[in-house]
Amino acid sequence: MRILFVASEVQPLVKTGGLADVAGALPAALVETGHDCRILLPAYPAVTKALGRARATATLQTRVGPVEIGEYRMPDTKVPVYTLIAPALYERPGGPYLNEQGQEHADSAIRFGLLSEVATMLCVGGLPGDWRPQILHLNDWQTGPAALWLRLKPVAGVRSVFSIHNIGYQGNFAPQSVDTLGLPWSVYTPDGAEFYGHFSFLKAGIVYSDAITTVSPTYAEEIQTADFGFGMDGMLRKRADALTGIVNGIDTRVWDPAGDPHVVRKYSAARLGYKQRNKELLQQALGLRPYLEAPLFGVVSRLAYQKGIDLLVQTLPALIEQGAQLAVLGSGDPELEQTLSSLATRFPDAVAVRLGYDEQLAHRIEAGADAFVMPSRYEPCGLNQMYSMRYGTLPIVRATGGLADTVTGLDVKRSNLETATGFSFGEATQKDLAGALRQAIAVWREPSVWRQMQRNAMQRDFSWRASAQRYSALYQDLLQRP
């Protein structure tokens, strides 16, 4: 099957969030299962630096003028990647979405409208060997108009899939964007791409794609409600039959305690005793009291209200009273950064905070912590809970989105001990989080029970292979439709 995977960021070329991880891993998994999957993304400076400048393999005439297509291979994979070369739009300081001052690029509608336009143009040819996709797989608002163009000018044998990674980001622009993109005003209606007085790239993808996916079954249900839908819930309910939730995978080569180069003492489910050495080394590295009898909780997260970090802050003094320790790595809201840093100063033996991101430390926290805390108010999929289970570091999560789909919380009566992989709580409140933390500490003090749950967690399959099989089935179903 021929698939063109269109995204605004792809790991390891350019990354601002979880979309890049998916765009880097899913195409590779699809290729490994026998599909011909290729990637299209803009030629940002970071992309050109990572791949080098190649001779253009195609030139296309677009609304903004001629643009070129560069052809490469993704690093360490067999996945072809096409870069959209338009220097005036993409070769500029800053990131994919924000300038050096942290402000959105003023011409974002043009920049990502072009990405969508080119994606649909490639469905009718223009690439070497006249390669054309059967599936146009679009990702997040930056690619939404491609589904609209394909609906306006259908291409025989081509179906579109639109994936929502976080519905909070919508790409809503002034109505004049309709003219800017060369679209008919007939699409600017409440049943089309109009959204509260704006032209919405995200809504265009939702309304006009052949199939919609999001990153977990529970999140697919949640975004059809007013609490989680960010205003799109009505249209998603209308298109519920086209909506599917498929949990993201993780790169099990990168996240593997038996071979992780960032982990000093390698271990596996059969050699869980070696995990203790990583805890000792983590405590030493962070300046925590080197005491194995203290349950050590880890956090690697954006420090934000959405992530429920404020709930953890409120719960922290009681957690310390129970003899626990906390290791935090992350950055975000300045107030939360300051509060956590103050707590680390107040409780230096029990709380360690490192602001920013450090890949090595992230791996060491996963390997050295006893449990991992993710009290998110909403979480489309989440990755760290899957990393944690892979490392035998039991996750403590709020039962929302992908957290609910991937973590089997131990029930109060422990009747599901044979399958439990962590701890979960219902409401985003200090009380419910504190209850889950108390439960985790109580179980941690029963080594045989804790060890059973660690083995359960480490046996789960979160590879991209499983996700790729679900997408393959979806693609096949679309192509079989009349």
Domain assignment present for residue 62? The answer is yes
39 with 165, same domain: the answer is yes
Which secondary-structure segment (H or E) carries 351?
Answer: strand 351-355
pLDDT tens digits in sequence order for the chain, 482 residues long:
999 999 999 999 999 888 998 999 999 999 999 999 999 999 999 999 999 877 789 999 999 999 999 999 998 888 999 999 999 999 999 999 999 888 999 999 999 999 999 999 999 998 988 999 999 999 999 999 999 999 999 999 999 999 999 999 999 999 999 999 999 999 999 999 999 999 999 999 999 999 999 999 999 999 999 999 999 999 999 999 999 999 999 989 889 999 999 999 999 999 999 999 999 999 999 999 999 999 999 999 999 999 999 999 999 999 999 999 999 999 999 999 999 999 999 999 999 999 998 999 999 999 999 999 999 999 999 999 999 999 999 999 999 999 999 999 999 999 999 999 999 999 999 999 999 999 999 999 999 999 999 999 999 999 999 999 999 999 999 999 98
Query: Residue 254 falls within a domain, yes or no?
Result: no
Same domain? 275 vs 212:
no
If asked whether residues 469 and 437 sit together in one domain, one would say: no
DSSP one-letter string for 144-167? HHHHHHHHHS--TT-EEEEEES-T
In the structure encoding, which two tokens stand for residue 475, read together? Answer: 């693609």
In a domain, 255, yes or no: no
Q: Which residue has the tokens 């269109």?
A: 6
287 and 322, same structural domain?
yes
CATH at 233: 3.40.50.2000
Q: Are residues 16 and 70 in the same domain?
A: yes
Both 430 and 370 in one domain: the answer is yes
Is residue 440 located within the same domain as residue 341? yes
φ, ψ at 160 (rounded to 5°):
-110, 140
**Domain count across the chain:** 2
Residues spanned by the domain of 449: 269-460
